[in-house]
Each structure stands twice: as structure tokens, then as C-alpha cells.
Amino acid sequence: MLHNRLSACFALCLAFQALPALDDAARSKARDELKVLGPEIARLSRAFNLIHEVVAPSVVAVHIRANVSVPVGRRGFRLLFAEQEVEVGEGSGFVFRSDDKRSLILTNAHVVLQTNEDQRFVRDARGNPLVHDRLRIELNDGREVDAEFVGGTLESDLAVLSVPLPRLPAVDWADSDRVHVGDWVVALGYPLGVGYSASQGIISATDRSTGVYRSMGGIESFIQTDAAINPGNSGGPLVDIQGRIIGVNSAIKSTTGASIGLGFAIPANLARRIAEDLVDHGAVRWPAIGVNMPPQDLTAEQLAKLGVPPPGGAPVAGVVPASPAAEAGLRSGDFILALNGVRVRNQMQFSARLRACRIGEPVALTLWRGGQEVKAQLVPVGREELERLAQGDGVELAGFGMRLNDDRKPGLLVSWADPEGPAAAAGIKPGDRVLGERTLGALHTEADARQLARRSELVLQLVRDGKGFWARVKR
């Protein structure tokens, strides 16, 4: 039924574009046809009305306020300044969870984190991004309330805020893996300071990369839309024709700074899992399966030579021993064609869909190996657990008070150092890498580490944070 209404709508649009000036008889005929099409188009318009009525109560404006010094007067030739709170930015967000005590809001991290004049994120002494001085939430009904920062991640450009208001209406989520190019969508938010606004369009593309987040180590697999997204829309919802969240509006490409029909939204499946992690665990728990991939995707010609069926897949360059991938039988040279039945074209798509999975929940992979499809089941683990599995038990140098692990990176990792032991006394810390020993040469494996255990004195070449140094350690 909806397809018939949309067809009628498109037919009317084409009629407006194609018809030349009409005589009275033709105009009368067109008027009669419009009377037939009008009710169908009105029903589609009513669907957009209902989307607004369902979702708008959950959409909020995020006002960013900061304390700045402003001139307040003059004493002789000297200006007098005073600290004053001013609004320095704004964005959008939406309520995704609410209970008897508080409501939780999802928005973009770039909306609430401080940036400098070069648009780089401002960080504290530990390297953590700084949140703006004050976050003020404006609800759809006009109420305003201060918000507390719960957590955020630059890798996915998402942040969660909390407001002390109970039982606010929360959104419904859609499965963003099931959206298609051409689906109707509505972008909601508070653009350019004009207040709550809705814009309608379609999904123009899926699994789109813009390069915006790659510089921060992020993964990109955006939903692209031609629905108008302008400054201030960041963090607002992109919803489907049933009023369910399919994405979080996050970026645009533009030559003017305003919408030209190239808007990008973070898929709902990824956004929902990250939001829940930030609330339930205080940080994002990234899932991992233990596969290494080459630095660049293969070209279509290379894939064709290898016999990989279109549209391609994610190549496996290596498998971490004892990892979920190793246990499931994955091998170097495999291509991952699909995850949980959803086709992937390249590494970026696979990584984005894997990040939307939950640690401890089984996933199904479809592989291409030796000219045929192979199925595999595995359970993702956390990154920290994968590192532990990769390192194994390591080799403890008891007389020196440290443990070395082969983590398949250059040298050997110092995974433990007794704070009271000889290694710590020589300035060695967990996380350092031992590249070699003066008399033994370069060190690569745990067998090399066991040779060190038989020595009474070691002169070690190490590296820490990219800087090399030497340490002498005696039993």
C-alpha cells in the first residue's frame, strides 16, 4: 500500500516537471487526476505528521555554555574584564533511556567536547578530552535543565548525557542493517539556532566513508541521506517511516557550510550498543575476534583474480593464536563475506559491523576459502581479553622480577614488573618493550626470553613511548 502511495507521489512530481502549458480541457483533466492522487499524497503527508508527533518529544537541543572573560568597562587606558557565562555552541540529541530518577540523552561527542582555534580537541594532562563547562538541555516542551556528562568516545563520535528528569519519552530503535537506498527518512533536530525542525529525504547510500573520523582511529560506515542536515543538527536522530531511530546525524559534506544534500549518520546498531556500554560500564567495551587485516583493501581487479565473488569481502592477513577466530578455524587468506548474514564489501564495513556486536554474544561469519563458502561461529571477547590470550602466560624472569611476553610485535613485552624487584629498580616498567640484550642480540620469542632467565646480569635495550633506552639489571 505504501509503495502505491509513493508511486503516486512520484508520478505527480514527474507530471509537474514534464507537462507544458495546458488548454482548458487538459487543465480540467489534470484537475480531475489531482483529485484522485491528492488523498493518497495526503496520506503520505500524514505519515510524516505522525513521525513528528511520535519522535519530537524525545528530541532535545544541547546548549553549550562556557565561562569567558569579557570587557565590562575601562579604567583610564586599561580595559576591565570580568568572567561571564556565554553560549558557545549548540547541537541536538535524543532521549534513549529513562527511569524513575533520570533520563539519558545520546548526542555527538564533538558537540560537548572542547576544541581549540584549530578545531582540535582540548585534552587534560592525561590526554583525556575536556567537556565544556556547562551543558544545558532544552526539551521539546520548552523546559530547560542542566545535564551531566556520563561518557563519550571519539572513535565513534558519541556521548551520553544525563538529566535529573524522570520518565521522559524515549525513542524506539530500528535495525540499521536492514535499511536500503531509497527508503524515506526524516532528520530531526535544532539547526542553526532556529528551533526544532524536521526535514525529509531518502537514504542515498549506506556504508559510506568520509575520512572525518579516520584521523582519530575511528571506524566509518555512515548512512548517507539527502535530508537537510545543518550545523546544530549534530546528535539528532535520523528516523525511518515508522518513527524508529536508524542513525545519529553527525556530519555533512558542503562547500558552503550548510546542507547541500550530503548528510551522514552513524548507524543505529552501532550507536545503540555504544550508548548502552557508556551507561552500563562507564566506557565502550570494543569487541574483538583476533584477525589481522592488511593496511589497505584489495582492488576489484585483485579480488577478481583471487576468485572472491562480488562485491568483495574483508581479507584475513593473520589470526591471533588462542583467539576466538583461531578457535573457530579462521586462516590467513580467508575472506570474510558476511557477518550475521549481512554482506560486507571491505575491511571498514566489517570492522564497523563487528563493533556493533556485543561481547559474549555469538556471531556468524560467512567466509570465502579455496573457491567456496565456509561458515564459522565464534564469540567476540574484549580487547583486553584478546591481548591476554595473545600473550599467554609469558616467561617469568624470577630473579629479575619481571615477566616477558611474545605478543607478535617487535621485541618482547614487559607484562609485569615487581615494584620491589631488580627490573623496577633499573627503571623498567610494565608496557616497556625489550628489543634486545647486549650479548644475545635481538629478542623475538619466548624461547629468547628463557635464555635471559639463565643469566645473572642483563644489559637490555628497551623502548618506551617511542623512545629507546638501555637498562642494566642484576639478580
More confident residue, 450 or 267: 267
Q: Which candidate in 92, 110, 156, 334 is catalytic? A: 110
For 57, the 3-state DSSP assignment is helix
The answer to whether residue 112 scores a pLDDT higher than 70 is: yes
pLDDT digits (tens, 9 = 90+) for 78-105: 888 888 888 888 999 999 999 999 999 9
In the prediction, which pLDDT does 430 show?
Answer: 83
- The CATH number linked to 107 is 2.40.10.120
Together in a domain, 301 and 425: no
197 is an active site residue: no
Together in a domain, 38 and 176: yes
Domain tally for the chain? 3
The answer to whether residue 20 scores a pLDDT higher than 80 is: no
323 is an active site residue: no
The answer to whether residue 339 scores a pLDDT higher than 90 is: yes
Q: Which candidate in 234, 250, 259, 415 is catalytic? A: 234
Last residue of a domain, one of 284, 305, 333: 284
pLDDT digits (tens, 9 = 90+) for 252-274: 998 888 888 999 999 999 999 99
Together in a domain, 128 and 254: yes
SS (H, E, C) 341-355: CEECCCHHHHHHHHH
180 is an active site residue: no
The answer to whether residue 4 scores a pLDDT higher than 60 is: no
pLDDT digits (tens, 9 = 90+) for 24-35: 888 899 888 888
| Mean pLDDT, range 451-465, rounded to an integer | 91
The answer to whether residue 11 scores a pLDDT higher than 80 is: no
pLDDT digits (tens, 9 = 90+) for 185-215: 999 999 998 999 999 999 999 998 887 776 6
pLDDT digits (tens, 9 = 90+) for 280-314: 999 999 999 999 888 788 899 999 999 999 999 99
The answer to whether residue 470 scores a pLDDT higher than 80 is: yes
Q: Which candidate in 63, 98, 157, 406 is catalytic? A: 157
Kindly indicate the confidence band of residue 22, based on its pLDDT and cuts at 50, 70 and 90. low
Mean pLDDT, all residues of the chain: 89
Phi–psi pair at 359, nearest 5 degrees:
-60, 135
Together in a domain, 260 and 334: no
Together in a domain, 237 and 297: no
Together in a domain, 210 and 224: yes
Distance between CA 265 and CA 157 in Å, rounded? 11
Distance between CA 42 and CA 32 in Å, rounded? 16
Phi–psi pair at 138, nearest 5 degrees:
-110, 120
Distance between CA 226 and CA 116 in Å, rounded? 30
In the prediction, which pLDDT does 226 show?
Answer: 96
More confident residue, 163 or 327: 163
Domain that holds residue 458: 392-474
Kindly indicate the confidence band of residue 135, based on its pLDDT and cuts at 50, 70 and 90. very high
Together in a domain, 366 and 396: no
Distance between CA 316 and CA 293 in Å, rounded? 5
Together in a domain, 30 and 14: yes
Last residue of a domain, one of 264, 284, 304: 284
In the prediction, which pLDDT does 62 show?
Answer: 97
| Mean pLDDT, range 131-148, rounded to an integer | 95
Together in a domain, 183 and 144: yes
Together in a domain, 354 and 372: yes
| Mean pLDDT, range 319-338, rounded to an integer | 91
Paired residues of 197 in beta bridges: 189
Last residue of a domain, one of 250, 284, 318: 284
Distance between CA 452 and CA 37 in Å, rounded? 84
| Mean pLDDT, range 349-360, rounded to an integer | 93
Together in a domain, 147 and 50: yes
Please check whether residue 159 is in contact with residue 94, taking contact to mean a CB–CB distance below 8 angstroms.
Answer: no
- The CATH number linked to 371 is 2.30.42.10
Distance between CA 336 and CA 347 in Å, rounded? 9
CB atoms within 10 A of CB 317: 13
Together in a domain, 227 and 353: no
More confident residue, 375 or 259: 375
Identify residue 459 by its one-letter amino acid code. V
Distance between CA 462 and CA 202 in Å, rounded? 55
